[in-house]
Amino acid sequence: MSVHALTDAQIRASLINVTQSERRNVTLPADVANTDWDRLEFYGGRDRKLALVGYVVAELDGVPTGLLLRQAESRPTSRAQCSWCADVHLPNDVLLFTAKRVGDAGRRGDTVGTLACDRFQCNENARRRPPAAYVGFDVEAARRARIAALRENVESFVRGVRNGL
């Protein structure tokens, strides 16, 4: 698994739910060039200037497809679980993000929400070794399954927004 490496310009160009001015105002994390793409099922980063904005890019049928996400002002009330890495022992906060829908619906202000790790640390979280649940538990297989599930979760979210679901 893992995704193909993307440049700053490719990430910017991949965004499907942004206006021209939103695309111009993208300030990606400084370390895009140093990203270890072999360890990613999707790219995720927070905007360096816009405190509530983040970007996620998944590969849909080989095409990098990105979304601008906006962090909801209200925090989840209880200890929330990330919908993507589904980790129950998270070292980070989970926040509610919304993505503007593509096309007319988006222009009318329609959004889709998801709970996700605050800085999209899901790739890292899914790769941590899970605790052995019982004697003979296959930790490596469990880890691979979590990584595959993460990819599936993020791809289906991005695909849903792309397809206007």
Binding interface with Zn ion (CB under 5 A)? 82, 84-85, 117, 122
Place of tokens 């942004």: 18
Comparing CB distances to Zn ion, the nearer of 127 and 159 is 127
Comparing CB distances to Zn ion, the nearer of 93 and 110 is 93
| Closest approach of Zn ion to the CB of residue 87, in Å | 6
Comparing CB distances to Zn ion, the nearer of 68 and 120 is 120
Place of tokens 């998270």: 90
DSSP per-residue string spanning 5-19: ---HHHHHHHBSS--
| Closest approach of Zn ion to the CB of residue 103, in Å | 28
| Closest approach of Zn ion to the CB of residue 28, in Å | 19
Comparing CB distances to Zn ion, the nearer of 20 and 78 is 78
Distance CA 95, CA 85 (A): 13
| Closest approach of Zn ion to the CB of residue 9, in Å | 26
By CB atoms closer than 10 A (0-12, 13-18, 19+), residue 85 is buried
Q: Distances in Å between the alpha carbon of 26 and those of 10, 98, 163? A: 12, 17, 23
